[in-house]
Structure 1
Amino acid sequence: MIGCSHHDAAVEFREKVAFPSDQVGLALAAFRERFPSSELVLISTCNRIELYTTAGNDNELDRDAVAEFLAEQRCLKMDEIVDQMIYRVGVEAVEHLFTVAASLDSMVVGEAQILAQVKQAYDMACESGSAGPLTHSVFQAANRAAKRVQEETAIHRRRVSVPSVAVGEVIPEVFDSLKKKRVVICGAGEMGEETLRYLIQAGATDVRLLNRSYDRAVALAKSFDVTPVPWDQLYDEVVAADVLIGATSANETIMNQKLFLPLHAKRQGRVLLILDLAVPRDFEASIGELSSVYLYGIDDLKAACERNRRERQKEWPKAKQIIAEETERFIQAIHHRATGPVIQRLRNQAGELKNDELDRLKNKLGLGDGDAAAIKEIEKSFDRLINKLLHPPLASIRDDAAEGHRRGLVEALRHLFNLGDD
């Protein structure tokens, strides 16, 4: 793996090496043409750019070759890539991918989006033909590891961003579902955009977006397929809202109790949930004292985030243990897979020798069709002898495979018995 993320590279550099979605396929095709027997999966998000490669039969494919390919693709100098990219090989690369897929390496640990991004990157590599047997295995194993972390720990169930807590934990306390509920968001900045993302994931279908700059509201509303509303219609939207969200960057409240009271009367006792995510606050705190109004301020939500963050930290060791177990499981499977063809050729060779000797013995002893019982007993004896002779070396090879072929017994066996190459 060669790549960088929010952990080790500034956003300015990540922007330089990132691949827009319409360029990923072209990069995969270019890699395949340059290194036809190698494999590549390219993950490119706002927080990380990582290339997972296999060497295949391309002896020239090493760290520098991949760095040079990336530099050419992004029109950068080789030195820029070499100095600012992180490299991981073998077990470390596998463990890193599993950690990324499980969202343990994300800016917001436990966010669910990264696994979908990893799957999308793998699917694109499959479509382009740049994926292969090894990347198939490792990315499928990464998905399995991520699912285990999701199912066996509470990391993904503990939200730690203000919008995710607001939408995922507070709204369900008031409403069973967002279907048929009018959600009104005031503010189209970063906080409003993130909140929109969680609202759509939660099933909201009637969302109105207001912003002092109407053009900004229109642009953001279009990307999420929600309805933009001019700012001067704020009061009408407050009357119609079931959920009212403040996410502006205004220097003072956009609504105090005096302005809200006549709107409250028009609502005729309907429940209103107000989520004030803004700093300074968008809604005067006293509004929350009125009947049928539930108001959660930024401090309430941040306190919930901090509680969840502490709970996630408790789950961290368990999640890391799962990643370690899945990494070891994958590496052992790969090592055992490498021994399989050699062992099979050895058994085939032994079987051919057995058959030759059995035919020779039957001819010498004059055994025919009428001696089927005797021939069967002789064959069983030959099979037991072969199994007893092969058991110790094959057991040693399996143990060596589990340890990463450190003693080189597979290669030794191949040469000793003249078993040929894979």
Structure 2
Amino acid sequence: MNLQMIGCSHQDAAVEFRERISFSGDQIGKALQDFRVRFPSSEIVLLSTCNRVELYASSNDQTAALDREAVAGFLAEQHQVSADEVIERMIYRIGPEAVEHLFTVAASLDSMVLGEAQILSQVKQAYDLACNSGSVGPLTHAVFQAANRTAKRVQQETSIHRRRVSVPSVAVGEVVPEVFDSLSDKNVLICGAGEMSKETLPYLKQAGATGITIINRSAERADELAQRFGATSAPWSLLEEKLIEADLLIGTTSAQEPIVDAAMFEKIESKRYGRVLLVLDLAVPRDFDPNLGEFSNVYLYQIDDLKAACERNRHQREKEYPKAQRIIAEETEKLILAINHRSTGPVIQRLRENAGEIQREELRRLQNKLQQMNVDQAVLSEIEKSFGRLTNKLLHPPLASVRDDAAEGHQRGLLEALRHLFKLGDE
């Protein structure tokens, strides 16, 4: 197991360094090619996101000198930084620790938001790109496919991914379904075009919302955001008119006073003909008068209500963390065991073949002499069986020791010793 990983993330490196060391999509393809040119017998997968950069590499060529200094030097050249800076600022993992780290990343236990779903798709994309470029091999195939299986186990056997922990995700994913079966036929009105709106819009689109209107004091920002998410925009002067049409009203502005008070809503209430209005106030200070909740058919959720739900969900996720870690430990041990046993197979097969060839050659010589002496065929058959038993008994102790050593990660080096003692080459 010679897999190694060098990388950095939001956990251990400042954003300024991550920006300097990150790769765009086009740069990743070129980097994979450059790495294979420098290390022809290597395998490599390169993961680069807004929060992390990680290079996973392996080589079967013992003379390739593929070590920490080599991969750090490669990354340094790719970004015109010093190798010393890369070594100082990027963590390094090798063997089982590299495998366990990848499994932890894929399962989103190392993410900024514990349990977020995006990282697994990013790991898959990195693996697919490496596959398409021809830079993966048997080891990276096995490790990245196992990472996907491990992440799926964590998703299925824990509730980490089912607990929303951002205000917009709780608002749209948990509150909206309590009022509406679907958003596909609802009019959604978003007041504001800042960061909270940007964060909320993807959740609305995932929930099936199509009739989304963005209204903002700066029409230009509303237009830009609407175009980006396939919504429509409206001038601020039409706030009351759009409020009449709305089924879901979301506030995300930075206004210091409520933009919709009880008096304004009372003026237009009759024009809504008793339709239900769900109000999600995500702003601080609040965008909507708390008294709106007193109107019939109005369901008002304010930022503190949603934050409390986020905190409850976050605590529930954290409770599931140890269970997810146990799954990762189990899957890491299972993969390492499989890889170690797999590595003994070819050597054991060659040893058995060599021993079988010697056995057959000596048996032929003995049988030729015995046949000249007119020895009975039954005796010859018994001798052949004895040769087979003798060979198996002689091979059993070393092969059993090699298998035991494989289960322990080849710590005693018996596999290499067997290769040298019996001159078992890799060809």
Normalised-by-shorter TM-score class: over 0.9
In the alignment, is residue 70 of structure 1 matched against residue 75 of structure 2?
A: yes
* 1:291 corresponds to: 296
- Of 44, 47, 60, the residue aligned with 1:40 is 44
In structure 1, how many angstroms separate the alpha carbons of the residues matched to 2:343 and 2:120? 29
* 1:269 corresponds to: 274
In the alignment, is residue 309 of structure 1 matched against residue 337 of structure 2?
A: no
CA contact (8 A) 1:184 1:208 kept: yes
Q: Per-residue displacement from partner, 1:178-206 (whole Å, max 9, x unpaired)?
A: 22222222222222112112222333333
In structure 2, how many angstroms separate the alpha carbons of the residues matched to 1:222 and 1:23? 28
* 2:194 corresponds to: 189
Greater CA drift, 228-237 or 98-107: 228-237
In the alignment, is residue 343 of structure 1 matched against residue 345 of structure 2?
A: no
What does 1:207-226 align with in structure 2 at a 5 Å threshold?
207-226=212-231
In structure 2, how many angstroms separate the alpha carbons of the residues matched to 1:166 and 1:382? 77
CA contact (8 A) 1:272 1:292 kept: yes
What does 1:370-409 align with in structure 2 at a 5 Å threshold?
379-409=384-414
Pick closer, same or farther for the CA change 1:22–1:202 going to 2, 3 Å: farther
Pick closer, same or farther for the CA change 1:327–1:275 going to 2, 3 Å: same
In structure 1, how many angstroms separate the alpha carbons of the residues matched to 2:377 and 2:166? 77
In the alignment, is residue 20 of structure 1 matched against residue 24 of structure 2?
A: yes
Pick closer, same or farther for the CA change 1:139–1:357 going to 2, 3 Å: same
CA contact (8 A) 1:38 1:56 kept: yes
In structure 1, how many angstroms separate the alpha carbons of the residues matched to 2:79 and 2:155? 35
CA contact (8 A) 1:55 1:62 kept: no
After TM superposition, the score normalised by the length of structure 2 is 0.91
* 1:158 corresponds to: 163
CA contact (8 A) 2:186 2:209 kept: yes
SS in 2 for 1:207: strand
Q: Per-residue displacement from partner, 1:52-89 (whole Å, max 9, x unpaired)?
A: 12244362332222222222222333343233222222
Greater CA drift, 258-267 or 394-403: 258-267
The one-letter amino acid of 1:171's match is V
- How far apart are residue 226 of structure 1 and its match? 2.9
Greater CA drift, 148-157 or 71-80: 71-80
CA contact (8 A) 1:163 1:194 kept: yes
SS in 1 for 2:44: strand
SS in 1 for 2:201: helix
- How far apart are residue 275 of structure 1 and its match? 1.2
What does 1:177-256 align with in structure 2 at a 5 Å threshold?
177-256=182-261
After TM superposition, the score normalised by the length of structure 1 is 0.92
The one-letter amino acid of 1:124's match is L
Gaps of 5+ in 2: none
Q: Per-residue displacement from partner, 1:338-377 (whole Å, max 9, x unpaired)?
A: 111101101111222233244334433439xxx9987766
Q: Percent identity, please.
A: 69
CA contact (8 A) 2:6 2:92 kept: yes
Gaps of 5+ in 1: none
CA contact (8 A) 1:165 1:305 kept: yes
In structure 2, how many angstroms separate the alpha carbons of the residues matched to 1:281 and 1:195? 17
